[in-house]
Structure 1
Amino acid sequence: MIRVALLAGSMLAAAPLAAQDHSAHGAAARPQPDMDHCAMGHLPPEQCPPKDEPEPDTGTDDEMVGMDHSSHGGMSDKSAPGAAPENALPPRALEGPRHAADVVWGEAAMVPARNQLARENGGMTTGMVLVERVEARIAIDGGEDGYLWDAQGWYGGDINRFVLKTEGEGEFGGALKDAEIQALYSRAIGPFFDLQAGARFDPEPDSRTHLVIGIQGLAPYMFHVDGALFLSDRGDLTARLEAEYDQKITQRLILQPRIEIELAANGIPEREIGSGLTKIEPGLRLRYEVMPEFAPYVGVEYEAKVGETADLARLAGEDPDGLKPVLGLRAWF
């Protein structure tokens, strides 16, 4: 009898548990895969569908297999249908004032501040003087020791500048051989190049003026280039091309290869210049920057007159080429 009472009590306790509704548990817990509670005996038979009826088709298998996924790769706009694309500019972005600071400080106060900002960040006027070369040249072939200068200065802004150039050479204790002064208007035609035009005056070896048009700037691979065409008041057309490169050995020690080439469209007998390629001057200088603005250097320069100009030099009893050690200074301020 005791065993029968215990068995009846356990059956009465299990009946309410079996009748509990578990359908709401999935909303609070992690979703579980579909389970056949009828096959597991969890539900009474009257709540189970007939075994000969097919199970409802959810479409999760066949429809997924038959779906066309080819268009997924071209989907770039994830916004809702009819909405503006993600990269569109919201209309409210243009509703405010052009300068938001005017709302706080007032236009009268901000206009001078904006003009000052533009002037101090590229629009201001400034200047510089660069003494590229001032050097003594030592003759090792029995000639005369000489000197040379090459300097330029400019004043203006980033776009428009006035440029003044001068260069020349002579012999110690002797006459001045060549000298020239150029006054140029310089206009930036790109981030790294300026177009220059103006006039050139040569006081030596004979007084002569030229029209000048040229280009100056920084070529790819950090080559500094300066090229110009010169048309004299006597109809002579000449050209000059200079290029140099600063190779840093240390932060202060810099090796600079340099080359200068001169050409003439016609012969200039009074200056002992023939037509074609007239002169080439490759050189190598090693400078030490005591400070960036002050750098003494030593080097060597090879000067060679070529073509008809070399023939004219030989007829005059001169050596058309020669190698000269140089000692000089580069400075700017």
Structure 2
Amino acid sequence: MKSRTLNPALAMAGLVLWSGAHGMDKHEPAFSRVIIDQLEVRDADPGTVAAWEASAWYGGDIDKLYLSTEGERLMDQGGDTEAFETRLAWSHAFAPFWDWQLGARRDWQPDDPNRDWASIGVQGVAPYRFETNVNLFIGEHGLTQLRLETEYELLFTQKLILVPALEMNLAGKADDELHTGAGLMDVEAGLRLRYEIRRELAPYIGVNWERRFGDTASRTRDAGGEVEETTLVAGVRMWF
């Protein structure tokens, strides 16, 4: 079996993550929460796609361990997983409603090599109550990615809520194995209308739009893929 050199940045992230977890104030009350922000089906061109975004944390008001996952799985034609990502981080509050995070991410690819990344980022609530996440990922062979995410909750009533969301991914250099280019790789925008049966359970419907750009779009076309897709979605949001 071919040995694989450990990414130094990933090793450092793991050390800080371990140190942060063991350095939590033992007198601070600890809480936990699991949030399944999106669990939905999408009417895509290849067939029906199941998609998910979920996160969980454990800790106090200042320090937490944070776990997140997102991915897509084709429900038709054998049900192949198209993409699957997990991230583990130590989250530390540095201002009201703002945390910085340091951790590690793994991309699980069904047909291509898996990718490991160290991650550093911030998340919180920007002015006008925009929930914002900014993460820098540092991978092997000098690969870097920057991810920007934001969403807003527009309340029509206490139970009926419209959520526009936007995500952008940029890369520092091309990745030939994964057929992605440098610069702006893709943009994803969604609009979901949910109804909270109770705060912990809310079905929703909406629309999702994805578009690849630049060299990534060219590589996608060369591989026979689509560079733009708009899908109708239906799903449920829940937490406990």
TM range (shorter): 0.7 to 0.9
Instruction: Give the TM-score, by structure 2 length.
Output: 0.85
- State the alpha-carbon separation in 1 of the partners of residues 52 and 100 from structure 2: 24
1:315 Cα deviation (Å)?
1.0
Amino acid at match of 2:93: A
1:1-333 → structure 2 map (5 Å cutoff): 123-139=28-44, 142-172=45-75, 173-205=78-110, 206-333=113-240
Amino acid at match of 1:129: V
1:130 Cα deviation (Å)?
0.6
1:233 Cα deviation (Å)?
2.6
Give a deviation string over 1:156-201, Cα, whole Å, max 9, x none: 0100110011111121133211111111000001001100001112
The CA RMSD over aligned residues, in Å, is: 1.2
Amino acid at match of 1:183: L
Q: Which stretch shows the higher mean deviation, 226-235 or 278-287? A: 226-235
Q: Unaligned 5+ residue runs, structure 1?
A: 1-118
Bigger Rg over Cα = 1
- State the alpha-carbon separation in 2 of the partners of residues 208 and 317 from structure 1: 23
Aligned positions, number: 210
- State the alpha-carbon separation in 1 of the partners of residues 118 and 148 from structure 2: 16
Which of 1 and 2 has higher RCO (CA within 8 Å, sep 6+)? 2
Could you say which structure has the higher strand fraction? Answer: 2
- State the alpha-carbon separation in 1 of the partners of residues 188 and 197 from structure 2: 27
Give a deviation string over 1:268-305, Cα, whole Å, max 9, x none: 12112111000001110000000000001000001101
- State the alpha-carbon separation in 2 of the partners of residues 187 and 316 from structure 1: 41
- State the alpha-carbon separation in 2 of the partners of residues 181 and 319 from structure 1: 25
Amino acid at match of 2:197: V
Amino acid at match of 1:243: T
Give a deviation string over 1:95-151, Cα, whole Å, max 9, x none: xxxxxxxxxxxxxxxxxxxxxxxx6xxx41111111111111102xx4322111111
- State the alpha-carbon separation in 1 of the partners of residues 176 and 144 from structure 2: 13
Q: Which SS does the other structure have where 1:274 is aligned?
A: coil
- State the alpha-carbon separation in 2 of the partners of residues 195 and 224 from structure 1: 14
What percent identity do the matched residue pairs reach?
41
Amino acid at match of 1:211: A
- State the alpha-carbon separation in 2 of the partners of residues 203 and 304 from structure 1: 21
Q: Which SS does the other structure have where 1:270 is aligned?
A: coil
Q: Unaligned 5+ residue runs, structure 2?
A: 1-26
- State the alpha-carbon separation in 2 of the partners of residues 220 and 297 from structure 1: 26
Which stretches of structure 1, 4 residues or more, deviate above 6 A after TM superposition?
A: none
- State the alpha-carbon separation in 1 of the partners of residues 192 and 107 from structure 2: 27
Q: Which SS does the other structure have where 2:141 is aligned?
A: coil
1:235 Cα deviation (Å)?
2.4
Amino acid at match of 1:246: E
Amino acid at match of 2:67: L
Could you say which structure has the higher helix fraction? Answer: 1
